Structure 1
Amino acid sequence: MPDERSGSVLSSAGFDAAWCATDLGEYRACRYTYERYPYESLPPLDSSQFTGAFQWLGGARGLDPEQVAKLDDLARDLAARNLSLPQDFVTFQTSANLYGSLDDVSVTCCWTDISQPLPSPVEPGSFLVRFLRDQQDCVIWYLYLRSSGEAFVVHSHLDYEYEYEAQRDGEETESDLDDAEEQTAAILWCAPSFEEFAHRFWIENRLWHAVNGGDPARLEPPLRDYLRHYAPPEVFA
């Protein structure tokens, strides 16, 4: 399970900011399967590459008809709430070659699981859309959508689809959806856009393989630069 919220900072979106991930070998320790790392401790990313085209992953090629239909249904549901999906998310999730890429690279067996819109428990009019989850639900990632058009990525230890279903059915859970303070603490901001989230997730999971049995010195430059943020200078001398 992720560790406590210590060290997190408040993001511009109004939630504490932290990155939830596993270790990077000796370069970044992890006490459990996942840990929450202060967002300001992460290597910076070049925001100019996040154009919505996913060129760093080869670009989008072709459409997956089944995914197009699913995303169209989701978009209509959101439109009825005066909300919309960010285009980078649509591009990725409907692309024949990009869809499932995060599942393929995940070292903790995370898998794509897109939900219907789920009401934000802390902000009326805003909604969550789950898109990725750990195989044991240690952490779940969501798009957070606001009526202003703002969209960013958050994560939580709570599966809000289950939480709302349990509330509707009168079942007891460990979470109180009516406790705004508790729910605000359960949601953490982790990326300003879906593409930036996907890029950092993709980099870190590839790095995990390199530092756990591979040769970090043979990594391609962008991955070496990312790891250099954590590594002593002599590693890449």
Structure 2
Amino acid sequence: MRAQDAPFRPYWWATSLDEAGVDSRSGDGTYNRYPFEDLPETPYPMDGDFAWLARQPAQEEWAIRQDVREPLAALTSVCEREGVPLPEPFARFMGSPDLQDRIRSTTACYLDLDAGTVPVPGGGRLIRFLADQQGCLFWYLFVTEDGADHAVVCTPEYLDSEEATEVEGGEAICFCAESFEAFLCRYWLENEIWFATEDGTPMPEVGPAYIERYRALAG
């Protein structure tokens, strides 16, 4: 889904990258909201197979992996009843602990998969899948009503299918990625850049080019 086609304002919620030399990514809080249009493109083809992620090392610490087998099974059944198919890359990742082990979070985010969907006024569904450890932010899959397209959105609001019959207001919801795989790729890369600059872990091969492109785009 393109940002201009989404019913939400486009922004990228993330941690700062000023220590990596991206001056436009400074900030005082744990998370800050940055212009979506300044983001570099993802450095790998987004084919839905996560081949780029499978080549990355598994992480022993800070990985986002959680046992989501039960909520995934329940969610799949709910989506089948509602006629809203889950995007294949989303289902593939949620069903693969091996892939989950390869993404880590500097802020101890973890997979927090909802077992159902929350309707969005005007059409579409939200499915929570990632949560900040302190409850500062939550990330959701947004699926169109016919299931033909999807995106990832982010908001400080906690939305759960057992508590909300539909999204109320929604002004705080931000479009943050064109697809689930694109979100994971950028999320993985920016977290690895942070670990490399702050903790001295190996910089991803595509990290320096991403940083330079970010500097150029953000001006």
The TM-score normalised by the length of structure 1 is: 0.75
**C-alpha displacement of 1:140:** 0.2
> Who is 1:114 aligned against?
113
Of structures 1 and 2, the one with the larger relative CO (CA 8 A, separation 6+) is 2
- Distance, in Å, in 2 between the alignment partners of 1:206 and 1:93 is 21
- Distance, in Å, in 2 between the alignment partners of 1:55 and 1:18 is 27
> Who is 2:210 aligned against?
226
Q: Does 1:52 align with 2:53?
A: no
Report matched runs for 1:142-153 at 5 Å: 142-149=140-147, 150-153=149-152
Q: Report if aligned partners of 1:53, 1:59 keep a CA contact under 8 Å in 2.
A: no
- Cα 1:58–1:31 change in 2 (3 A) is same
- Distance, in Å, in 2 between the alignment partners of 1:123 and 1:199 is 29
- Distance, in Å, in 1 between the alignment partners of 2:39 and 2:211 is 10
Gapped regions of structure 1 (runs ≥ 5)? 1-9, 61-65, 169-175, 233-237
- Cα 1:201–1:35 change in 2 (3 A) is same
> Who is 2:60 aligned against?
none
Q: Report if aligned partners of 1:153, 1:189 keep a CA contact under 8 Å in 2.
A: yes
Letter in 2 for 1:120: P
> Who is 2:131 aligned against?
133
Letter in 1 for 2:54: G
3-state SS, counterpart of residue 49 of structure 1: coil
**C-alpha displacement of 1:214:** 2.9
- Distance, in Å, in 2 between the alignment partners of 1:114 and 1:225 is 33
**C-alpha displacement of 1:67:** 4.7
The TM-score normalised by the length of structure 2 is: 0.80
Q: Report if aligned partners of 1:115, 1:129 keep a CA contact under 8 Å in 2.
A: yes
**C-alpha displacement of 1:13:** 1.2
Q: Deviations over 1:136-191 (max 9, x none)?
A: 111100001122222111011100118x62x78xxxxxxx954xxx42x1111111
**C-alpha displacement of 1:93:** 1.0
Gapped regions of structure 2 (runs ≥ 5)? 57-66
Give the number of the structure whose alpha-carbon radius of gyration is greater: 1
- Distance, in Å, in 2 between the alignment partners of 1:69 and 1:121 is 24
- Distance, in Å, in 2 between the alignment partners of 1:201 and 1:193 is 12
> Who is 2:78 aligned against?
77
**C-alpha displacement of 1:206:** 0.3
Identity %: 32
Q: Does 1:42 align with 2:43?
A: no
**C-alpha displacement of 1:222:** 1.0
Given the alignment, which residue of 6, 12, 32 partners 2:29? 32
**C-alpha displacement of 1:192:** 1.4
Given the alignment, which residue of 8, 14, 33 partners 1:21? 14
> Who is 1:87 aligned against?
88
3-state SS, counterpart of residue 16 of structure 2: coil
Q: Report if aligned partners of 2:151, 2:178 keep a CA contact under 8 Å in 1.
A: yes
- CA RMSD between the two structures: 2.9
